[in-house]
Amino acid sequence: MTQNIDDLLPEGLEDRLPQSARAAARIEASILHVLDSTGYDRVRPPLVEFEAGQAQRMAGEATRGQFRFTDPASLRTLALRSDMTVQIGRIAATGLADAPRPLRLCYAGQVARIKGDQLDPRRESLQVGAELVGTDTAAAAAEIVQLAIASLEAVGATGISVDFTLPDLVDTLAKAELPLDPSQVEEVRRNLDAKDAAGLRKAGGEAYLPLLYAAGPLEDALRRLDEVDAGGVLDSRMDGLRMIAAQLGDRARVTLDPSERHGFEYQTWFGFTIYVDGLRGALGRGGTYRIGGTDEAATGFSLYPEDFVEAVKADEPARDALFLPPGHDAARAQELRGQGWRTVAALDAADEGRALGCTHVLRDGQPVAY
């Protein structure tokens, strides 16, 4: 066998070999089953779309991270999808514009980006998620958060924690409780997101300093947030968070980092990040948003289970396999497959079942353990 430069894969792009592919397939199927059984219909958008259409729905910036190329048919720029959420929004706004609301859609597929980052060097990953289109109420958010957790429970994840955030917190406070000049808002937001107290003061955001310390277990964090919000403009949001958390019971630890914005640039009042024990990075995120172009309210979540797949692949149960020797009865083999046996047929006399990973051999029409 030769091994040369052309056998290598580009940085951040990988093959899933059988063990990993099997874990990924099981995880994808289990999550899709949860979503389907909760009324979410699967849709399948294409791998590639016009860049302009995606840019419009991604608020511009994000398409810079996409693989882009010219379409010889239209001479317009195409982009390989980097986020299926955007595509689901387009489907809701076009092909399913007339479907009754709330519209429940789910999806699973590969997405790619031109650059990995320090936390995750991958440039391709599986994205699985659900979108609830036509509503962004606390009840919608509660359904979506529960669905994300049920999805992880279904694949055997343990120690689930959810970190809530309020993506438009600064905008809301700046209009009422803690007035800011519109020119200051972006700077205050950025410094809060960076947890930079000095920067926050410099930006004229002293009043926002307590928010830096308002992160933590939900009830503690809400208490501190309440102190900042003397006028109560956040009351309905805080009630919403309590309602979502109450419905979770003890299925997940819940924390709140009210001013976390990173990854939630396009969310409206509610965002969440989801973690499981044993994995450093987030497994997914979600929240409320408005669909680009139509401005329809929506709530959804996406999971990126790559790290989880790698963490659990070694635990995939071993499987029996039945070797079918040369001259075996094909009808009997078919019958045994129908009973759940996995078979491996000899193609010539030199093939040997154990060497091919088989646990059993067919003798006189019966599977016999090696």
Burial of 199 (0-12, 13-18, 19+ CB in 10 A): middle
Question: Where does 135-181 have alpha helices with state H?
Answer: 138-154, 169-175
Q: Is 1 annotated as a binding residue?
A: no
DSSP three-state, residue 338: helix
Between the CA of residue 208 and those of 99, 168, 170, 240, 272, what are the distances in Å?
Answer: 43, 14, 9, 22, 21
> Applying CB under 8 A, does 76 fall inside the site for a copy of itself?
yes
**What is the pattern of x (binds a copy of itself, CB under 8 A) and - over residues 42-71?**
xxxxxxxxx-xx--x----------xxx-x
Q: Up-side HSE of residue 151: CA atoms within 13 Å toward CB?
A: 33
Structure tokens at 246: 């109450």
Closest to a copy of itself by CB, 52 or 368: 52
> Using the rule CB under 8 A, which residue among 30, 161, 294, 359 binds a copy of itself?
294
> Applying CB under 8 A, does 250 fall inside the site for a copy of itself?
no
Q: Whole-number minimum distance, CB 267 to a copy of itself, in Å? A: 18
* List of E strands, 277-340: 284-290, 297-303, 322-324
Q: Choose among 17, 90, 18: nearest CA to 49.
A: 90
> Applying CB under 8 A, does 120 fall inside the site for a copy of itself?
no
**What is the pattern of x (binds a copy of itself, CB under 8 A) and - over residues 137-176?**
x-xx--x---------------------------------
Q: Whole-number minimum distance, CB 67 to a copy of itself, in Å? A: 6
Site for a copy of itself in 180-239 (CB under 8 A): none
Cα distance between residue 305 and residue 32, in whole Å? 13
From the CA atom positions of the chain, what is the Rg in Å? 25
Closest to a copy of itself by CB, 162 or 228: 162
Cα distance between residue 142 and residue 298, in whole Å? 13
Q: Which residue has the tokens 């706004």?
A: 93
> Applying CB under 8 A, does 13 fall inside the site for a copy of itself?
yes
Q: Residue 117 — φ and ψ, nearest 5°?
A: -130, 180
Q: Choose among 188, 193, 44, 170: nearest CA to 107.
A: 44
Q: Whole-number minimum distance, CB 231 to a copy of itself, in Å? A: 27
**What is the pattern of x (binds a copy of itself, CB under 8 A) and - over residues 321-340?**
x--------x------x---
> Using the rule CB under 8 A, which residue among 58, 78, 256, 361 binds a copy of itself?
78
Closest to a copy of itself by CB, 49 or 260: 49
> Applying CB under 8 A, does 124 fall inside the site for a copy of itself?
yes
Closest to a copy of itself by CB, 48 or 279: 48
Q: Is 351 annotated as a binding residue?
A: no
Q: Is 242 annotated as a binding residue?
A: no
Candidate segments 102-110, 197-205, 231-239, 257-265, binder of a copy of itself by CB under 8 A: 102-110
Q: Point out the annotated binding site for L-histidine.
A: 83-85, 113, 127, 131
Q: Point out the annotated binding site.
A: 83-85, 113, 127, 131
